[in-house]
Amino acid sequence: MTETFTPGALVRVRNREWVIQPNADPEVLRLRPLGGSDEDIQLIIPQLENPPVEPATFPDPKPDLPGSYDSALLLRDALRLKMRSGAGPFRCFGHIAVEPRPYQLVPLLMALKQETVRLLIADDVGVGKTIEAALIVRELYDRGDIQRFSVLCPPHLVEQWVDELNTNFHIPAVAVTGKTIDRLEREVNGISVFEHFTATVVSLDFIKSDRHRDHFLAVKPDLVVVDEAHTCTLTGQGRQLRFQLLQKLSEKADLHLLLLTATPHSGDEVGFHNLLSLLKPQFAQLGQGLSGADDPLRQELAQYFVQRRRKDIEEWSDVHLFPKRMTKEVTYTQSGEWGKFFEAVRAYCVSLASRTEQEKGEKARMIWYATLALLRCVSSSSAAAHRALTTRLNGSLEEQAALAEDRRVDDGEGQDLVSSDQEPAGSVEDTEMVRSLIAQAEALKLSKGDPKLIALEKHLTELIGAGYRPVVFCRYIATANYVAEHLKQKFSKLSIDAITGEFTPEEREDKILELTKALANGGHPLLVATDCLSEGINLQQTFNAVVHYDLAWNPTRHEQREGRVDRFGQISKEVRCTLMYGQDNPIDGFVLDVILRKAKVIQEELGVLVPLPEDDKRVRLALVKAALMRSSRTSPQQSTFDFDDGASELVAIESQWKDAREKAKVNRTIFRQARLKPEEVMPEWTKQRESLGTPEEVERFVSMALTRLGAPLNEKKQVTPQFFPPSLKDRLSVEGYSQAFAVDFHYPPPAGTLFIHRSHPLVALLADFWLEGTLAGSSGIGRCGVFETKAVSKVTTLFIVRLRHQIEITSVAGRRTLMAEESLAWAIEGRQEPKWLEGTQVEKLLDIHPSGNLGAEVQRYQVTEAIEWFHKNREVFDEKARNQAQTLLSDHRRVRDASQGRGQYSVEPKLPVDLMAVFVLLPDTL
């Protein structure tokens, strides 16, 4: 193989021209067809080719095939938008299907300054931590810094991560769980799953077992992302194995590690410092008392830790990306048969609680559990109460042990918000009173007039009338199904569905998709869900309101529910959030006054949510006392057991919460991230967009390309593939687009439309179609032309060129070769003593409207003169290409510091410059 055959060089083989791509095997050429896409790349062995591989040059435009002036713009946009390995500071932007905001580049820039990336990204819920982490992963992958990576996350987030990586970052990822591992191992046939696949998304519950953990550590990938990293801290029951795994991973000095969490240190100091120790062991010392923000160790932490509240985003002028959250409280009064039933259940619970004074050990624990279960369920619905009353606690040793871990009577422990939406068992006996309660609950399930449901229907009528699409969150499956069935009768014209833990994650996503389709077809979706949707599935594209039908006992759960719709990508300017509570329900009153409202005050003060202290025993005891002691009616059973007003428990809870608030306040000050400022990041963001094309340029290109096809966007911005040429129609159909679809070019797109970004198949296929046809001379778009215009006073020549750069990175890990391409418009004024036009002067030339075309002879002469001038001044164009290479080198060195052993960069332009098109503008003197 000769030196000519280096990445970026043009060669001719098999009767066509190709661009050589980087490849690790020196005996094999990796080739992309000239004008083709990355999907068309082929591998060949040069020694086997006959005729042999030969160096090639890019063909000149043909003066006999002129085109209209908008050809210049169409060609330049097509060239720029189809590039995947574009120039600019970052490598990843050509491969992603999202439009990152400037503030989301901060973690990426921080990561690129580190030799081994270690970051804790702790931005608020809904700010975009997944995008920020995936940007880092894609950038390191495209730079050749990593070959394989894994995402470790809770089970309910696995499918979301797989979809995000595949859809928005074009990285083929597979889910590794207990259900998929056997199939994956059969597929790879003896090779480790973690060595075979580029990207694996792994359930934390799967990987923490000894066998899987040890294997993962032995074949560790190059980078590991840990989502919901706070669930892996050493403190808290059941988390030790997760933390041990991360500890062993962090001990591997060359492993890149990204930790993601929205709640890094609120309420759990030990857990927070355990997280910090994963970044660097010395950071664990920060929990042993430090002098403050000026502490050198804390200063060093700022390089590894980024945390922004939504308020912090305001300085980026991006506050419009997040909706305004409007809150409201809706009350109801338990009346009629429902009020009688509630009081009957409460009275029965009083009798159960009184018996705990006589019972001891496991029997007392079961009665206490049943009391909590019944109080929680009767506050939810008669349907949930019926399920609890008919589910018996059998008292077996296995069940007694499970009660200590059962989270169905509350909402999860602190930050570990894994809960079940199944109703807890509430029956410990078969008595006449229990049978009477069951009969009442059965009758109420089928009756009309439920005061809580009526209040919900009235509020939903207001929301829907104002154009909102709500998600109604219930605590239990029985309640969600009960509410959904009644709402279907009340709002028969709406598309209503219920999603609960009865369905698999795939089934839940399918149901969400059906409601989204209903919205796209002009329908109005309404969703009833349990907390199985409060984490994992993002709902901002379809819904813009949340109703808490059942109050959560943990304020973090409320934030998670609302965060499903109030997040990055929500197109509505306002999101409505409603708390429903029973005005005469002592349980709701306690939760609202003692927990939720206090949490909101703290959140408004600090800007972050401080979870309820993890003291379940006191909280539960205070709840029961509030429910059983505070009532307008006096129950004779109350005198049989020793309950005070619950003040002692409340005092302890208040004290713990006050301590947590003060610690959070101190941490917000001491650990405030010395983040990059907008003025440091905006130039990089702007430069990258200019290199690869802005959303406005994507819209312009698609509109022009479709118009030339005779299938322009209509008023609803619909693309109609059925009117495309057969070859383009077939290629788009393979991508899943055979019917008309509505589009939008800015993120987030309106509901019911597709976001068309630069890497969307529609853009890529349109660019390929026009470029292939233009280079073959069959598209009707000429690569040259001559026009008169009043916009110039001298003969002005516009050259559309393509530059190919070879990037060499030398480090301790070896040498890597990358390739970058860019399409530029260069222009000269005059030819005898030409003056090069710069920047905006050239861009203005692309937007002019010629006053007229000239005859064929004049066009042929002027184009020929321009092409000859180009060849006579090759060295001038080559020098401009070398200057561009130096600019690219400066960009790469700036964002990926080449000092401190991180490697050395060099950029070489592959000459000659490709002349894609030439257009001559003559002054219109009339």
913 pLDDT above the threshold of 60: yes
On whether the CB atoms of residues 487 and 543 are closer than 8 A, the answer is: no
Q: Residue 596 corresponds to which amino acid? A: L
638 pLDDT above the threshold of 50: no
CA dist., res. 484 & res. 487, Å (int): 5
Higher pLDDT, 614 or 366: 366
Q: Residue 681 corresponds to which amino acid? A: V
Pairing status of strand 904-909 against strand 796-811: antiparallel
570 pLDDT above the threshold of 60: yes
Per-residue DSSP letter, 612: P
Kindly provide the residue ranges of all beta strands, DSSP E only, lying in 456-593, ordered along the sequence: 470-473, 495-499, 525-529, 545-548, 574-582
On whether the CB atoms of residues 284 and 277 are closer than 8 A, the answer is: yes
398 pLDDT above the threshold of 70: no
Convert the pLDDT of each residue in 110-138 to its tens digit. 998 898 999 999 888 888 899 999 999 99
590 pLDDT above the threshold of 90: no
Helix axes 158-168, 129-142, angle to 10 degrees: 50
What's the pLDDT at 289? 57
The stretch 467-484 carries a mean pLDDT of 96
Q: What does the mean pLDDT of the chain come to?
A: 84
For 645, the token pair is 């007003």
Convert the pLDDT of each residue in 862-890 to its tens digit. 999 999 999 999 999 999 999 999 998 88
Convert the pLDDT of each residue in 431-453 to its tens digit. 899 999 999 999 998 889 999 99
Per-residue DSSP letter, 671: T
327 pLDDT above the threshold of 50: yes
The stretch 708-733 carries a mean pLDDT of 91
Position 690 confidence tier, pLDDT thresholds 50, 70, 90: confident
CA 75 from centre of chain? 33
Cα-based distances in Å from 74 to 81, 641, 761, 768: 10, 84, 17, 12
What's the pLDDT at 645? 46
The stretch 356-384 carries a mean pLDDT of 83
Largest pairwise CA distance in the chain: 111
641 pLDDT above the threshold of 60: no
Give the SS3 label for residue 256.
strand
The stretch 635-648 carries a mean pLDDT of 41
Closest CA to 404 of 438, 443, 369: 369
What predicted TM-score, i.e. pTM, was given to this entire model?
0.81
Position 637 confidence tier, pLDDT thresholds 50, 70, 90: very low
Position 659 confidence tier, pLDDT thresholds 50, 70, 90: low
Give the SS3 label for residue 446.
coil
Buried b / exposed e along 652-665 (16+ C-beta atoms within 10 A): bbeebbeebbebbe
Pairing status of strand 796-811 against strand 814-829: antiparallel
Q: Of 128-132, 382-386, 739-743, 891-895, where does mean pLDDT reach its minimum? A: 891-895
What's the pLDDT at 401? 55
What's the pLDDT at 530? 93
The stretch 546-575 carries a mean pLDDT of 88
Buried b / exposed e along 66-94 (16+ C-beta atoms within 10 A): bbbbbbbbbbbbbbbbbbbbbbbbbbbbb
Q: Residue 851 corresponds to which amino acid? A: S
CA dist., res. 255 & res. 223, Å (int): 6
813 pLDDT above the threshold of 80: no
On whether the CB atoms of residues 75 and 916 are closer than 8 A, the answer is: yes
On whether the CB atoms of residues 125 and 560 are closer than 8 A, the answer is: yes
CA dist., res. 755 & res. 382, Å (int): 44
Higher pLDDT, 506 or 29: 29
Residue with tokens 């989270």: 407
Convert the pLDDT of each residue in 733-767 to its tens digit. 998 999 999 999 988 788 778 899 988 999 989 99
652 pLDDT above the threshold of 50: yes
Convert the pLDDT of each residue in 198-231 to its tens digit. 999 999 889 988 888 889 999 889 999 999 888 8
Kindly tell me the number of DSSP H helices and DSSP E strands found in the chain.
32, 28
